Amino acid sequence: MIKKVTDTDSLSGVSSPLLPLICGDFLYPYNDTDGAYIQLDENEDITAVLSLKNGSATVVKMSSSVDINEIKIFLSFSCVTSFISDFPLQFSNEKTYNLLTCVPDKKEENGIHNLSVESGVSDYKSVYGLLSHSGENFQNWYPVFSKKINNGFAEAVYKNVGGVFVSTATATAVYNDTAIISGVYTSLDFRNQGYASECVNGLLNQLYKSGVKKTYLWCENKNIPFYKKQGFAICGEVYCGDEI
């Protein structure tokens, strides 16, 4: 049985690196169906925790008795088109990514700017423009992301060169002392100039000042050398899919 979570106490036993995403979906929903859910077995023990956000899902395994088929049916009926999980859901287009982690520390900022309470809509539009390859429209993205920034549930930095936003790094979920970096992007015309490294370091510096103790991200094999240079190390795997 899958039922909706009504308070964060139901999530207190979750130790997955994906917990900040689930809590973010619970605290900052896009619509009425968004939020956190738990799957219970016949003894009413929690076997999985999952969340919905604007057509995407995050799934965390809590027990070996998790009912994968029930979760897949639930995602289908919820009109979910993409997912990330800490265990295989066995969809045909599922891909495996490396999960990396590091402990944020104080970094040299090198002229990196932060999105903050004082940032105007134009700044958000410029950062969104760098991240818009994700497919989410600005009208949906801005109200939720700016609210997260203002409440300390997200962090974002950017590099401005001659008035042009050329690179950004964002942590879209910060919960307690854990953060997830899910957006690092540099414009094609400004690559191979160290801007992405500056933004990642600037973001880690901002997370350090915010009290974050552990930061996670996932990436393909080809990007591992870049993140290792920023202090990250492989700690596991996550599973992603779209068009499910």
Residues 111 and 92 in one domain: no
Residues 37 and 123 in one domain: no
110 part of a folded domain? yes
183 part of a folded domain? yes
CA distance 85 to 81: 14
Which stretch of 20-24, 46-50, 74-78, 132-136 has the lowest confidence by average pLDDT?
132-136
Residues 45 and 130 in one domain: no
| Total domains, the chain | 2
Cα separations (Å) of 19 from 8, 51, 63, 93, 225?
11, 10, 16, 24, 26
Sign of CA dihedral 222, 225, 226, 230: positive
Task: Give the 3-state secondary structure of residue 54.
Answer: coil
Residue 135 pLDDT greater than 80, yes or no: no
Q: Taking the model in full, what pTM does it have?
A: 0.91
Residues 118 and 208 in one domain: yes
192 part of a folded domain? yes
Residues 122 and 81 in one domain: no
CA distance 171 to 173: 6
Sign of CA dihedral 147, 172, 85, 133: positive
CA distance 126 to 139: 14
End residue of a domain, out of 40, 68, 96: 96
Q: Which range of residues forms the domain containing residue 120?
A: 104-212
